[in-house]
Amino acid sequence: MDTSNPDLLVKTRFLVISDTHGARCLPGNNRLIDPVDVAIHCGDLTEESKLAEFRATLELMKTIQASLKLVIAGNHDWTLDTPMFKKKIAEIAPPVDMELVRREYGDFGEAQRILQASAKNEDDDESGIVFMDEGTRTFTLSNGASLTLFASPCTPSADDWGFQYDARGGHQWDIGSDVDVVPQHLPWVVDIELPRAARDAAA
């Protein structure tokens, strides 16, 4: 972000939430009254990665007044991580009731399709909700600001959750110098600023 010319900067209000785990409203049943320019949900949209929980989170996001609403996955949202989804099914003790799996968790890619379809509302107008995989995107906001984000759902762990990487091996963060905001599920401090012993303990 170029801040060399203050006259080109645009005041932009953000709301950042995470770990709502399928809740349909903000904590305390509080509805955000004042609008913001950008609302970001930084993962753990669900508790058990069930389709009903993804739909509940989208209902929560619709209650927020923001021209741009971004959602990224967290480790609890493992059905969005297809290799992990397949691994979990393979580990179920037989017999596997695939009809029950589909009813609760959907087919491979179904949760992604629900989130991607949320960019449109019932009247086929833009709802402002955007699901981001890992990567960089630039948006032009309604206040005229240009916003470039690098988003990532990845977290360091050896557990069977979604979007995990080995903390000892690290992860490639392809963050360009033009990026303004880096929403991710795990705070950066855990991966970058702590000593290795602390990072290992956090993982």
* Mean pLDDT value across the chain: 85
Q: Report the C-alpha gap between 56 and 20 in whole angstroms.
A: 10
Calculate mean pLDDT across residues 137-156: 94
pLDDT bucket at 170, cuts 50 / 70 / 90: confident
Q: With 70 as the cut, is the pLDDT of residue 89 above it?
A: yes
- Burial (CB count <10 Å: 0-12, 13-18, 19+), residue 58: buried
> Would you say residue 119 has pLDDT above 80?
no
SS3 at position 147: strand
Residue 86 has pLDDT above 60, yes or no: yes
* Closest CA relative to residue 149, chosen from 136, 168, 161: 136
Mean pLDDT confidence for 167-195: 75
Domains of the chain with bracketed CATH = 11-202 (3.60.21.10)
Instruction: Give all strands (DSSP E) within the chain, no chain letters.
Output: 14-17, 36-41, 66-71, 129-131, 135-140, 146-151, 155-156, 164-165
Contact 154, 134 (CB under 8 A): yes
